[in-house]
Amino acid sequence: MNVVTITSKNQVTIPVAAVRRLGLDASRRLTVEERAGEIVLKPELPIEKRFEKLWAANKPLVKRALSDAELLAGKQAAREEHVSQKVAGWREKGI
């Protein structure tokens, strides 16, 4: 077990041995969880891994994993739909 100190900017340094064991680098994002009075840092999973459980749970609905381009296209379509709904609402209100 290693002991670290919280700086005045609420930062901690992760021991180099742990960084190497986990294959982390300076650009890697970590999620922070609070559990029973403890702080748990976990490496954030790549987008494919984050959706893996969802895909597994919905196998009858999803025939294959979506590509990054398909995910981005879906996100863009959802954003455009949201904006068009907002604009339509503003027009109804005369804004």
26 and 61 share a domain? no
pLDDT tens per residue across span 29-88: 898 999 999 999 988 877 777 677 776 766 655 567 778 898 899 999 999 999 999 998
23 and 51 share a domain? no
Long-range contacts of 53-58 (CB under 8 A, 24+ apart): none
pTM: 0.45
pLDDT at position 60, please? 59
5 and 36 share a domain? yes
- The secondary structure element, H or E, covering residue 68 is helix 68-93
Domain with 29, as residue range(s), is 1-44
Q: Residue 49 half-sphere exposure, CB side, CA atoms within 13 Å?
A: 4
39 and 75 share a domain? no
20 and 52 share a domain? no
Q: What are residue 40's phi and psi, to 5 degrees?
A: -120, 125
5 and 40 share a domain? yes
Total domain count for the chain? Answer: 2
38 and 56 share a domain? no
Q: Tell me how far apart the terminal alpha carbons of the chain are, to the nearest angstrom.
A: 60
